[in-house]
Every structure is written in structure tokens, then in C-alpha cells.
């Protein structure tokens, strides 16, 4: 998929697992594929389902789910690869002929790009239970191709105790209030951020999504840009985006932010070294592993001085899809049906994911970040993941000029010029 990305950048983990939620951290040490599955009397399992995905936050819980599936279905083993660079790995595997049976496709852009290779799941028994908000990201020309991994939202995850120490008694709902909060933290000797701008999904996807998502009709503007009738610079809140980006750099690690990884970002926040991080609900288990008693919450990133404008981006990051040319199509369908049937036990109770199905219920045990996201959902204060409408793979491309801006090599106009060139090139392919 992403032609510009190097195959050498791929870091994978071959394990008998199946994972959900979002983010991008280093995979744990390799485990033997299928090691948890019981063997037959003399022969190995008759069927192997090959799966590729890129989320490792709930690896241990997923190992248990995979093992349980094999206990119920002794002739099937789930052979999954958890990879850091999903797009490059998928291209490599399909090009080599070693095609997966089930894999992750990113919301809309990824589903659209792979749609010719995907099995239509419209008539699967669980499809009627998919949350309405999860349908657009999987639907191409009226056909539904995906099984939603999880409902996710992101904003500024914050340390309530550090906010209290700095005298911040009201969450920022405007860009001015955000700056005031940063000043209070600075006065108290507290570092606001250690943003992981080494990662595409943090800078070039989630943060850069905001000026597009806050538009009344992001679909129309993105279509105009792709058609050559508008430019990225024309997005109304683009200047405000840079104001927030500048804050995260000024009150954070400065130009060093471009070298900070997701792991380090979460570790600094979890250990109390920073008061905020631009992240989402998927970080909860990682935070708990470092500091299970950390007092945290999440609020939407403001881009204007009107509190009513401030909303949380919520969506489905990726879908499980089935390779229509798989020799194990029926087994793959059975696995997805089983995963939905047992979704409350595994997806919700074990993995602590927010389900993309109406018959699976989020619980209070999902933690404070999910609770805060649900507050925005209940108040209808959400915005879409507009980046899913960009040309495929643009988050990785856009990260490069934005990193150069953070590092001081480009100014705002130059960075946006580079973004525009990349966009133009992508739509001409």
C-alpha cells in the first residue's frame, strides 16, 4: 500500500494471537506461532488461519482468546503476525504470494484500497449488530467488507493530580484556555508534553486530522483538494492547528519531539514526567502497566475560542477483513462469527476495548479514558476521523514535512506546500 515506505522498517511479531485497538508500540519478544494450540494425536492442526494486524497493546489477552478458540476448534490454529508497518507488510505478503486469510484494513481508505481483494461480509450474521457509526468506514459501493475492531477516541490525555498541583481547576475548552493551562504548568515547574512526533499516527494522522475534522463538511473540502479546486492552505482552521502544534513543542521537548517514540511518550506520561499527551483510549493498559494508580482523564483538543466548537474525534481505526481468495474463507468467516459471539468476554472484558457493536456493552471497567470518550458521545460532541478520506497512506507522507517544521527546517507555508505536493502526486496515481 504505502509505496514510499521501506520494507526494512517493518518490525513484526509472529505469535498465535489476534489483537484490537490502536496505537503503534514496539512488539514484544517473539513467541512460537501456534504454541498455545493443542495438537492432534499425531498430526498438526489441519487448518491454519494467517492473520496480519498492527496493534499490540492487548497481546497477552489476545493470546488467550486465540488459545481458547483452538480448544473449541482443535483443527484450527490462528497464525498471526503483529507488525508495526501494516501497509508495507501487506504489500510484501501479497506480492510474494504468501497472502493472509484475515487482515486489518484501515478505516475507509484502507478498505477502499484493498476492496478488490476483499470478501463481501454484508450478509454475515453479526453485521446487523454493527454500530451505525462503524458502517461508513467499511462500506464501498454499498458492500460491507469489515468487522469493526473497536470504537476509539483521542484528545489530550492528562494527569489530574499535576493539573491540580498547577492550579488548573477547569479543563481547557478553548485554544486560549489551553495556552493558559500550559503557562500554569510551566510556572509550577511541570513539563506539559513529550509528544511522540517520531510516529506517523501521532503527528501526520491524529493531530493533522483536527483542522479537517472540525470543518462543517470535511468530505466536501477534501474532495475539492483532490480535484484541484482548493488547497490544503484553504482549510479554515489550519493556522489554529499550527498554534496547537507550536504549544506542544514550546511547552514540551522542543525540536527533540521528532525523535520521541510512542513508547517513550507514553512512558514519560505514565511515570508523571509530563502532564499531557496527545493520545487516545487505546493507551489505558500501557499506562496501567507503568502506574496503575495514575489519576487520569481525557479532553478534546480545542482549535478555536468557542467552547461549543470543541469536540472529540471518535471512530473505528481499522477493520478485520477477509481475503476473498483465501483457501480458508469459510473458516475465516467462522472465526469472525465466533469473535462476535464471544465479544463481551474477549473484546470488552478482557481486552478492554470499546465495542463497535450495538449488542456489546462498554463497562465502567474500561477505565477513565473510555468514560470520558463516552461523555462526549452522549453529548453528541464528536467529530469524524477525516483523515480516512485522504488519499491512501497520506498520514505517513504528511508526517515528513510536519516533522521538518517541528525541527525548524521548514516554516508553516513551506510545510503546507510540501503537503500539497504530496497530495497532488497521490491523486494522480
Q: Judge whether 7-150+317-361 and 152-314+383-428 match in fold.
A: yes
Q: Is the pLDDT of residue 129 over 60?
A: yes
Distance CA 383, CA 155 (A): 11
Question: Could you tell me the strand order of the sheet in which 147-148 lies?
Answer: 12-15, 76-83, 47-53, 102-106, 318-322, 147-148
Helix (H, G, I), strand (E, B) or coil at 81: strand
Q: What is the CA radius of gyration of the chain?
A: 21
- The superfamily in CATH containing domain 7-150+317-361 is Periplasmic binding protein-like II (3.40.190.10)
For residue 140, the cross-strand partners are 143
Q: How many helices (H) and strands (E) does the chain have?
A: 16, 13
Q: List CB contacts of 293: < 8 A, sequence separation 6 or more.
A: none
Half-sphere exposure of 215 (CA within 13 A, CB side): 21
Greatest alpha-carbon pair distance for the chain in Å reads 69
Reported as a single tens digit per residue, the pLDDT across 260-287 is: 999 999 999 999 999 999 999 989 888 9
Confidence band (pLDDT; 50, 70, 90) for 11? very low
110 vs 186, which has greater pLDDT? Answer: 186
Rounded average pLDDT over 209-217: 95
pLDDT of residue 198: 96
Reported as a single tens digit per residue, the pLDDT across 65-75 is: 888 988 999 99
CB atoms within 10 A of CB 340: 22
pLDDT of residue 45: 55
Distance CA 262, CA 267 (A): 8
Confidence band (pLDDT; 50, 70, 90) for 55? confident
Confirm whether pTM is higher than 0.95.
Answer: no
Contact 295, 372 (CB under 8 A): no
For residue 325, the cross-strand partners are none
335 vs 54, which has greater pLDDT? Answer: 335
Strand 312-315 to 382-383 pairing: parallel
Query: Grid coordinates standing for 57?
Result: 497493546
Q: Report the CATH number of the 152-314+383-428 domain.
A: 3.40.190.10
Q: Is the pLDDT of residue 9 over 50?
A: no
Confidence band (pLDDT; 50, 70, 90) for 46? confident
For residue 296, the cross-strand partners are 159
Domain ranges of the chain: 7-150+317-361, 152-314+383-428
Positions of E strands within 300-422: 312-315, 318-322, 382-383
Q: Is the pLDDT of residue 335 over 80?
A: yes
Confidence band (pLDDT; 50, 70, 90) for 364? low
Report the range of poorest mean pLDDT among 9-23, 34-48, 126-140, 173-187: 9-23
Residue from 378, 384, 385 nearest 362 by CA: 378
Distance CA 49, CA 276 (A): 40
pLDDT of residue 297: 98
Q: Is the pLDDT of residue 305 over 70?
A: yes
Q: Which burial class, exposed, middle or buried, applies to 221 when counting CB atoms under 10 A from its CB (0-12, 13-18, 19+)? A: buried
For residue 47, the cross-strand partners are 76
Q: Is the pLDDT of residue 31 over 70?
A: no
pLDDT of residue 38: 44
Reported as a single tens digit per residue, the pLDDT across 232-261 is: 999 999 999 999 999 999 999 999 999 999
Contact 66, 18 (CB under 8 A): yes
Any alpha helices (H) in 168-273, and if so which ranges? 175-187, 200, 208-213, 218-227, 238-250, 262-270
Q: Is the pLDDT of residue 5 over 90?
A: no
Amino acid at each position: 500500500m504505502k509505496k514510499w515506505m521501506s520494507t526494512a522498517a517493518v518490525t513484526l511479531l509472529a505469535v498465535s494471537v489476534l489483537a484490537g485497538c490502536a496505537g503503534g508500540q514496539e512488539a514484544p519478544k517473539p513467541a512460537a506461532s501456534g504454541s498455545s494450540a493443542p495438537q492432534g494425536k499425531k498430526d498438526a492442526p489441519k487448518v491454519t488461519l494467517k492473520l496480519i494486524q498492527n496493534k499490540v497493546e492487548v497481546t497477552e489477552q489476545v493470546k488467550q482468546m486465540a488459545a481458547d478458540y483452538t480448544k473449541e476448534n482443535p483443527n484450527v490454529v490462528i497464525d498471526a503476525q503483529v507488525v508495526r508497518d501494516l501497509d508495507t507488510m501487506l504489500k510484501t505478503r501479497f506480492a510474494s504470494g504468501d497472502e493472509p486469510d484475515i487482515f486489518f484494513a484501515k478505516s475507509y481508505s484502507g478498505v477502499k484500497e484493498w476492496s478488490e481483494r476483499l470478501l463481501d461480509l454484508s450478509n454475515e450474521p453479526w453485521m446487523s449488530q454493527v454500530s451505525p457509526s462503524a458502517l461508513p468506514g467499511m462500506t464501498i459501493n454499498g458492500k460491507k467488507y469489515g468487522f469493526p475492531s473497536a470504537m476509539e477516541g483521542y484528545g489530550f490525555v492528562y494527569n489530574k493530580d499535576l493539573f491540580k498541583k498547577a492550579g488548573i481547576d477547569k479543563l481547557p475548552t478553548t485554544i486560549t484556555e489551553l495556552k493558559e493551562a500550559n503557562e500554569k504548568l510551566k510556572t509550577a515547574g511541570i513539563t506539559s508534553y513529550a509528544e511522540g512526533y517520531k510516529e506517523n499516527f501521532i503527528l501526520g494522522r491524529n493531530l493533522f486530522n483536527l483542522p479537517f475534522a472540525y470543518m462543517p463538511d470535511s468530505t466536501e473540502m477534501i474532495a475539492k483538494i483532490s480535484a484541484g479546486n482548493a488547497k490544503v492552505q484553504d482549510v479554515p482552521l489550519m493556522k489554529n492547528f499550527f498554534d496547537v502544534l507550536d504549544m506542544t513543542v514550546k511547552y514540551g521537548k522542543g525540536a527533540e519531539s521528532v525523535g520521541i517514540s510512542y513508547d517513550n511518550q507514553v512512558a514519560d506520561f505514565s511515570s508523571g514526567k509530563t502532564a499531557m499527551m496527545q493520545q487516545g483510549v487505546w493507551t489505558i493498559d500501557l499506562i496501567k502497566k507503568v502506574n496503575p494508580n495514575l489519576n487520569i482523564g481525557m479532553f478534546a483538543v480545542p482549535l478555536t475560542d468557542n467552547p461549543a466548537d470543541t469536540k472529540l474525534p471518535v471512530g473505528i481505526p481499522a477493520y478485520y477483513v477477509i481475503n476473498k481468495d483465501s483457501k480458508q474463507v469459510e473458516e475465516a468467516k467462522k472465526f469472525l462469527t465466533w469473535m462476535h459471539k464471544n465479544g463481551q468476554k474477549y473484546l470488552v472484558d478482557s481486552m478492554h476495548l470499546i465495542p463497535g457493536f450495538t449488542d456489546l456493552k462498554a463497562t465502567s471497567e474500561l477505565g477513565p479514558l473510555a468514560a470520558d470518550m463516552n461523555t462526549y458521545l452522549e453529548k453528541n460532541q464528536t467529530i469524524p476521523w477525516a483523515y480516512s478520506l485522504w488519499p491512501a497512506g497520506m498520514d505517513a507522507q504528511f508526517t515528513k514535512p510536519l516533522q521538518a517544521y517541528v525541527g525548524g527546517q521548514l516554516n508553516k507555508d513551506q510545510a503546507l506546500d510540501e503537503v500539497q505536493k504530496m497530495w497532488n502526486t497521490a491523486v494522480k496515481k
